[in-house]
Chains A and B, each alone.
Chain A
Amino acid sequence: MNNFTRTITLLLAFVALPATAEVRVFACEPEWAALAGEIGGDLVSADSATTGLQDVHHIDARPSLIARLRQADLLVCTGAGLEAGWLPVLLRRANNARVQPGKPGYMEATTYVGMLGRPERVDRSAGDIHAQGNPHIQLDARNFLAVADELADRLAQIDPANAAQYRAGLADFRQRWQAALDGWSRDTASLQGMPIVVHHDAWVYLVDWLQLQQLATLEPLPGVPPSSSHLSRLLQQLEGSDAAAIIHSSYQSPRAANWLAERTSLPVVELPATIGGTPAATDLFSLFDDITARLGTVAP
């Protein structure tokens, strides 16, 4: 082989290999893209359709979203209606048979964890509730173990040649995650039973995991400004209470939380709802490091 052909061959290999070798994962939220990376390592390329600083209920359509879903081998979303406003129409436009519901390439994380906030009855008066339960499962760090098990299975199914590596990646992740879980539960022992006020009802999994106590919700119906009678009831309720903090998500405006803070002199704690929600939350581990550290600042 002469020099020229060798260079061309090398170049071709360089260009062609990553496109064919990787399992392309289309994640709806950053936490699932990160989880795929933790398990698959270099064998997967994972992108998220949304960022940690955006309301995942609604997204603006960009051409690249359709193009990426069209090439995807595996779609990982939260499910339970969280992406109902845009995922069905995006799936239709991408027209990719590998990632349609029911295929191995279509995975909803909420299917594999115990759901909280499942309404006893669903009617039109209860607001923007999700019939399948509260979808914000990523805020209980324990949930990632069950989702990781399923995700590793799916990766092995889609890319059987590397199944052993996905199993090894899963085992490694489980071990590191379990150690981290132990650390977080040690660090947050003092938070147990801490009474908090939340902006939206998006924190039930965090409250359940860290055994906090949710006293009240500032905006009971997402997307609808609270009425003045709700706010005055809230102020009365907080008057004699021992609430420690007001929690709001970094993707939402702090105005409502600040309004309440001014009247109750409670501290406001801004938490990342997922990776990218705060500068410190750069991966799954630092996400929960940051959440627990921020909550620690108001620990009793």
Chain B
Amino acid sequence: MNVDGLDASILGPAMAAGLLVLVTHVPLGREVLRRGIIFIDLAIAQIAGVGVLAAHSLHLAHDGLAVQAIAYASAIAGALLLFACERRWPEVQEAIIGCTFIMAASAGVLLLAGNPQGGEHLRELLVGQILWVDYHSLLPVAVLYAGVLVCWRLLQGERNRLLFYMLFAVTVTASVQLVGVYLVFASLIIPALAVRRCTAGAVFRGLLVGVCGYAVGLLMSALLDLPSGAVIVLALGMLAIVFSSLWHCDGAVRTGRSR
């Protein structure tokens, strides 16, 4: 047991980052699960990373702002590509997403072979660590997410798939840098999975699973002195099992590409 880490100024910013991520990822994750495209976050994040690596080898990534602009532009370009694939070949969309991920990752290895210094950028982009977050760095993300949520609310009725892909790309590019790919995947899919049969208050229940997972995970990582990201992922998974077995939701599972 280690009580030194139980300090609000250490765990507070991490918890705030978790709350921010959950607010956008729980509703988006339900949509991702419904469409059956669960690896899209990994593919988009990897494409953003490759974009930054490519820019680095072309000597375009000079400062943090340029790197960010390139990361977001690459992610949106990747989202447009995946959107075009979904329109053309909807029946194999998940396979296409998986292949896109692995091809982007391999392209990254090749770019790194010529330019290993870019590796630091790739790492910063893909394996953000939740404990390194401070309140100061949360502000721009909070503003961005507020915009995403407003757009998401507005498009709810019209099933605007293109907008969904774009919003998703922007959200994931921000969250992966904040908390890393494992936590992004877990925040998207685990709460959505836990509430997939719930018809009433599903988003609220999903948020509850997520908030409890982050809180328990952060406390356990402080007490046991273990890396926080990994402990939160496991806490989310275990709490999802507990909550979903308590709730007895038995609504019809909605899948496929219609609502």
Residues of A within 8 A of B (CB): 58, 60-68, 70-71, 85-86, 89-90, 92-93, 95, 124-125, 127-128, 221-225, 227
Number of interface residues of B (CB under 8 A): 36
A48 to B: closest C-beta gap in Å: 14
- Complex CA gap A3/B115 in Å reads 72
- Complex CA gap A64/B218 in Å reads 12
A61 in contact with B116 (CB, 8 Å):
no
Residues of B within 8 A of A (CB): 2, 4-7, 9-11, 13, 56-57, 59, 109, 112-117, 119-120, 123, 129-132, 134, 218, 221-222, 225-230
- Complex CA gap A1/B109 in Å reads 73
B123 in contact with A58 (CB, 8 Å):
yes
B243 to A: closest C-beta gap in Å: 25
- Complex CA gap A60/B6 in Å reads 18
* B2 cross-chain contacts in A, Cβ below 8 A: 64
- Complex CA gap A95/B13 in Å reads 13
* A221 cross-chain contacts in B, Cβ below 8 A: 113, 116
- Complex CA gap A225/B228 in Å reads 29
Q: A61-B130, A63-B11, A67-B10 are in contact. List 7 more A-B contacts (CB 8 A).
A: A58-B123, A63-B228, A124-B57, A125-B115, A223-B112, A224-B109, A224-B112
A67 in contact with B131 (CB, 8 Å):
no
- Complex CA gap A248/B129 in Å reads 29
- Complex CA gap A223/B2 in Å reads 34
* B113 cross-chain contacts in A, Cβ below 8 A: 221, 224-225, 227
B129 in contact with A61 (CB, 8 Å):
yes
Residue of B nearest to A84 (CB): B120
* A61 cross-chain contacts in B, Cβ below 8 A: 129-132, 227-229
B134 in contact with A93 (CB, 8 Å):
yes
* B229 cross-chain contacts in A, Cβ below 8 A: 60-61
- Complex CA gap A286/B206 in Å reads 54
11 contacts between A and B (CB under 8 A): A61-B131, A62-B227, A63-B11, A66-B5, A67-B4, A67-B10, A85-B120, A124-B56, A125-B114, A223-B116, A224-B109
B132 in contact with A90 (CB, 8 Å):
yes
B181 to A: closest C-beta gap in Å: 14
Q: Given known contacts A93-B10, A93-B131, A93-B134, is B116 in contact with A63 (CB within 8 Å)?
A: no
A83 to B: closest C-beta gap in Å: 13
Residue of A nearest to B130 (CB): A61
A63 in contact with B7 (CB, 8 Å):
yes
A60 in contact with B129 (CB, 8 Å):
yes
B32 to A: closest C-beta gap in Å: 27
B5 in contact with A67 (CB, 8 Å):
yes
B116 in contact with A62 (CB, 8 Å):
no
B221 in contact with A89 (CB, 8 Å):
no
A64 in contact with B117 (CB, 8 Å):
no
Residue of B nearest to A220 (CB): B116
B4 in contact with A62 (CB, 8 Å):
no
B67 to A: closest C-beta gap in Å: 14
B79 to A: closest C-beta gap in Å: 29
B227 in contact with A60 (CB, 8 Å):
yes
A64 in contact with B4 (CB, 8 Å):
yes
B225 in contact with A124 (CB, 8 Å):
no
B134 in contact with A92 (CB, 8 Å):
yes
Residue of B nearest to A66 (CB): B10
A65 to B: closest C-beta gap in Å: 8
With most chain A CB atoms within 10 A of its CB, the pick from B117, B120, B227 is B117
* A223 cross-chain contacts in B, Cβ below 8 A: 112, 116, 119
A68 in contact with B4 (CB, 8 Å):
yes
Of B56, B109, B120, B221, the residue contacting A63 (CB under 8 A) is B221
B177 to A: closest C-beta gap in Å: 12
Of B59, B117, B130, B222, the residue contacting A127 (CB under 8 A) is B117
Of A63, A92, A93, the residue contacting B222 (CB under 8 A) is A63
A58 to B: closest C-beta gap in Å: 7
* A70 cross-chain contacts in B, Cβ below 8 A: 7, 10
B60 to A: closest C-beta gap in Å: 12
- Complex CA gap A65/B227 in Å reads 10
* B134 cross-chain contacts in A, Cβ below 8 A: 92-93
The 4 closest A-B pairs by CB, nearest first: A63-B5, A60-B227, A61-B131, A67-B4
* B131 cross-chain contacts in A, Cβ below 8 A: 61-63, 65-66, 93
Residue of A nearest to B11 (CB): A63
A62 in contact with B221 (CB, 8 Å):
yes
Residue of A nearest to B56 (CB): A124
Residue of A nearest to B110 (CB): A224
Residue of B nearest to A86 (CB): B132
- Complex CA gap A85/B117 in Å reads 12
Of B123, B222, B226, the residue contacting A85 (CB under 8 A) is B123
* B13 cross-chain contacts in A, Cβ below 8 A: 93
Residue of B nearest to A67 (CB): B4
A231 to B: closest C-beta gap in Å: 14
B230 in contact with A60 (CB, 8 Å):
yes
- Complex CA gap A66/B5 in Å reads 7
Of A67, A90, A124, A128, the residue contacting B7 (CB under 8 A) is A67
